[in-house]
Chain A
Amino acid sequence: MLEPSFIVGQVLSGLTAAMFLFVVASGLSVVFGVLRVLNFAHGSFYMMGAYLAWQMMHWLGPVTGNFWLAVLGSALGVALLGGLVERFLLRHLYGKEDLYQLLLTYALVLILGDAARIVWGTQQLSVARPKGLAGSFELFGAVVPYYNFFIIVLGPVIAVTCWLLLTRTDLGRMIRAAALDREMLAALGADVGRLYTLMFMGGSFLAGLGGALVTPVRSIVPGMDVEIIVEAFIVVVIGGLGSFWGTFLGAIIFGQVLAFGILVLPGFSLFAVFALMAVVLIVRPAGLLGRPLS
């Protein structure tokens, strides 16, 4: 009953979903790791990325090459939005109770969700796959669209880039220092406020990038913000909050469990993921690669 072509197909579709999820969840995880802010609006940034990409394709016209321009442009646009949110709203709530930060980001979810509805309406929007990646090829009998293959490759590339940025550059060193001890870093003369803004923009950029990249394979609808944020939460909980590679691992596990859970419980594969989350939390409450929060 289980043909190799089917298994390969499921593995690859799981990996594609995982890499989309990783791009979004890594932003959530990194922002939490440094700013200690759980950003509910991260999913809304993802949605804004998707809508902005559609809007730019609409303006630029469906010419080859424009897709990449639209992806980059919308990710930068979302980063800018994130920067404004951090600088003018979130900054004033550091050091207060977590609850206030949660509520602020939730308020943003409500506002951005309705704003998108006002600007782009409620109908489904879609973006065509870029010309160069429109076709598909066969692998062990499974049909693999070039675009999905591209995403599977892109995920690790982004992961390694971010990791190098965090571990090998001065900026990365500062970011890790800020995650460990914000006050000490400020006492040493670093501009922690600017660092936080940059970090939040980085996280928003990843959310926007994820949203823009997903447009050729999923339709853009209101409600995609909430759907992704819950999935991203599960990924970072499984992987370990604030752990970069944990998020990567969590995303891959999520994708595979979702892809193969369909075999066990058709229509309910999300449960397999939740069951897994529960098991992980019993064995390692801080997530697979996470350290317990102090």
Chain B
Amino acid sequence: MKRWLPALAFILVLCVPWLGSRFHTFLATEIVILALFAVSLNLLLGYTGLVSFGHAAYFGIGAYTCAILMKTHGVPFPLAFAAAGAMAAAFAVVFGFFCVRSTRIYFAMLTLAFAQIVWAVCFKWNSVTGGEQGLSNVPYPDLSFLAALPVLGSLRTADHYFLLVMLVAGVCFFVLHRIVRSPFGRILTAIRENPERAQFVGINVRAYQVAAFAIAGAFAGFAGALFGIFNRGVFPDFAYWSKSAEVLIMAILGGIGSFWGPAIGAAALTLLNHQISSFTQYWPLVLGVVLIVLLFAFPGGVTGTLAALRARLRAKRHA
């Protein structure tokens, strides 16, 4: 992918509050946050080769940490946001320590089981998490200073929040991109390709896997923190396994072979969700059918199909 393309996309999305309606800003905010969530998962899935079926746990932990700090304790957004990432990373280290000890399918099961614990805690711990009802009315970060600025002053609060999301998510994407391009990221890829050989050249495979787990968890936590505020409330469903599966589907739909693939998948699935939900309540049914069609219509996997398509386009351009 061309290097300037993400930057161009970033600038285009940034213009949404001026070009589109309130609904478009809403949609763009959701897509950007979920794209961050999906890209954070891909650090495990695509780069380290770990199929996590419980990534929503860290999304949920981040969302609850940020929301509880901001709503119950009145902590300002930057601190609460940082705490959300730190908390998610801390849990990811503990869970990851157990999970990386097992092989592929075991690993998927364990990540799922740990995510279900997180969900159960959020569901049962009434006094802190609000239990089944969740926490509603999570406050927006204080962005009133934006109103004094010339171009931004005319925008609504939700638009201001969208700009904050773009800024924060942009930084997160940049950092994640640097991480996968760094020597550390290369080692993760080496582990994905051949863990045994990586071990032979002296890499502590499990330590690197736990580190990848923690980083992916931290960014999922950031995404969760942003989503909780965007959603104006946090609910146990954030950590539920269907959320984990949904982000997994986003990543695979978009393609786990490239850095931006999962982000594209997140955008596609979110737009599809809004389209389908407007005329039926059975979105899961539609999603399931879409998934099966994808699995069978693209025998080489979605990623393979995309790569093949790209190769064919390139061949045509050169011809």
Given A97-B301, A114-B285, A274-B117: A281 in contact with B98 (beta carbons within 8 A): yes
**B215 at interface, CB cutoff 8 A:** no
**B258 at interface, CB cutoff 8 A:** no
**A1 at interface, CB cutoff 8 A:** no
In the bound complex, do residue A98 and residue B112 qualify as a contact, i.e. CB atoms below 8 Å apart? no
In the bound complex, do residue B288 and residue A102 qualify as a contact, i.e. CB atoms below 8 Å apart? no
Write out the residue numbers on chain B whose beta carbons fall within 8 Å of the beta carbon of A89.
292, 296
In the bound complex, do residue A233 and residue B291 qualify as a contact, i.e. CB atoms below 8 Å apart? no
In the bound complex, do residue B292 and residue A267 qualify as a contact, i.e. CB atoms below 8 Å apart? no
Given A38-B109, A113-B284: A104 in contact with B295 (beta carbons within 8 A): yes
In the bound complex, do residue B252 and residue A110 qualify as a contact, i.e. CB atoms below 8 Å apart? no
Inter-chain residue pair count (beta carbon < 8 A): 99
In the bound complex, do residue A285 and residue B117 qualify as a contact, i.e. CB atoms below 8 Å apart? no
In the bound complex, do residue A293 and residue B252 qualify as a contact, i.e. CB atoms below 8 Å apart? no
A57 → chain B, closest Cβ, in Å?
26
In the bound complex, do residue A92 and residue B296 qualify as a contact, i.e. CB atoms below 8 Å apart? yes
In the bound complex, do residue A38 and residue B285 qualify as a contact, i.e. CB atoms below 8 Å apart? no
Chain B 231-271: CB-based contact to A (< 8 A → 1; otherwise 0): 00000000001100100110010000000000000000000
A85 → chain B, closest Cβ, in Å?
11
**B102 at interface, CB cutoff 8 A:** yes
In the bound complex, do residue A282 and residue B285 qualify as a contact, i.e. CB atoms below 8 Å apart? no
**B79 at interface, CB cutoff 8 A:** no
**B155 at interface, CB cutoff 8 A:** no
Given A226-B241, A282-B98: A114 in contact with B110 (beta carbons within 8 A): no
Taken together as a complex, chains A and B put the C-alpha atoms of A271 and B288 apart, in Å, by 31
**B200 at interface, CB cutoff 8 A:** no
Taken together as a complex, chains A and B put the C-alpha atoms of A79 and B285 apart, in Å, by 22
Known: A114-B285, A118-B285. 13 other contacts (CB 8 A): A32-B105, A38-B105, A38-B108, A104-B292, A110-B291, A111-B284, A114-B288, A118-B282, A230-B241, A234-B113, A268-B124, A270-B120, A285-B102
B12 → chain A, closest Cβ, in Å?
31
Taken together as a complex, chains A and B put the C-alpha atoms of A106 and B103 apart, in Å, by 20
| Smallest Cβ-Cβ distance to B110: which chain A residue | A237
Write out the residue numbers on chain B whose beta carbons fall within 8 Å of the beta carbon of A68.
none
Write out the residue numbers on chain B whose beta carbons fall within 8 Å of the beta carbon of A115.
285
**B-side binding surface: helix, strand, loop or mixed?**
helix
A221 → chain B, closest Cβ, in Å?
15
In the bound complex, do residue A100 and residue B295 qualify as a contact, i.e. CB atoms below 8 Å apart? yes
Taken together as a complex, chains A and B put the C-alpha atoms of A107 and B120 apart, in Å, by 23
**B104 at interface, CB cutoff 8 A:** yes
Chain B 120-142: CB-based contact to A (< 8 A → 1; otherwise 0): 10001000000000000000000
- Across the interface, B288 reaches (CB within 8 A) one of A36, A110, A118, A267, namely A110
Write out the residue numbers on chain B whose beta carbons fall within 8 Å of the beta carbon of A70.
none
CB under 8 Å from chain B, chain A span 78-118: 89, 92-93, 96-100, 102-104, 106-111, 113-115, 117-118
- Across the interface, A108 reaches (CB within 8 A) one of B102, B108, B288, B296, namely B288
Taken together as a complex, chains A and B put the C-alpha atoms of A63 and B114 apart, in Å, by 44
- Across the interface, B102 reaches (CB within 8 A) one of A93, A102, A117, A281, namely A281
**B184 at interface, CB cutoff 8 A:** no
**A277 at interface, CB cutoff 8 A:** yes
Write out the residue numbers on chain B whose beta carbons fall within 8 Å of the beta carbon of A175.
none
Specify which of A100, A107, A271 lies most central, judged by the most chain B CB atoms within 10 Å of its CB: A107
CB under 8 Å from chain A, chain B span 141-174: none
Identify 7 residue pairs between A and B in the complex whose beta-carbon atoms are under 8 Å apart, listed by A's number.
A103-B248, A103-B291, A110-B288, A234-B113, A271-B117, A274-B114, A281-B101
- Across the interface, A111 reaches (CB within 8 A) one of B106, B117, B285, B295, namely B285
In the bound complex, do residue A267 and residue B124 qualify as a contact, i.e. CB atoms below 8 Å apart? yes
Given A106-B291, A114-B285: A281 in contact with B110 (beta carbons within 8 A): yes
**B81 at interface, CB cutoff 8 A:** no
Write out the residue numbers on chain A whose beta carbons fall within 8 Å of the beta carbon of B117.
270-271, 274
In the bound complex, do residue B110 and residue A103 qualify as a contact, i.e. CB atoms below 8 Å apart? no
**B53 at interface, CB cutoff 8 A:** yes
A98 → chain B, closest Cβ, in Å?
5
Write out the residue numbers on chain A whose beta carbons fall within 8 Å of the beta carbon of B120.
270-271
Write out the residue numbers on chain A whose beta carbons fall within 8 Å of the beta carbon of B282.
114, 117-118
In the bound complex, do residue B116 and residue A230 qualify as a contact, i.e. CB atoms below 8 Å apart? yes
Write out the residue numbers on chain A whose beta carbons fall within 8 Å of the beta carbon of B103.
293
Write out the residue numbers on chain B whose beta carbons fall within 8 Å of the beta carbon of A99.
51, 252
In the bound complex, do residue B102 and residue A233 qualify as a contact, i.e. CB atoms below 8 Å apart? no
Taken together as a complex, chains A and B put the C-alpha atoms of A281 and B285 apart, in Å, by 35
Write out the residue numbers on chain B whose beta carbons fall within 8 Å of the beta carbon of A293.
103, 105-106
Taken together as a complex, chains A and B put the C-alpha atoms of A160 and B154 apart, in Å, by 74
CB under 8 Å from chain B, chain A span 270-290: 270-271, 274, 277-278, 281-282, 285
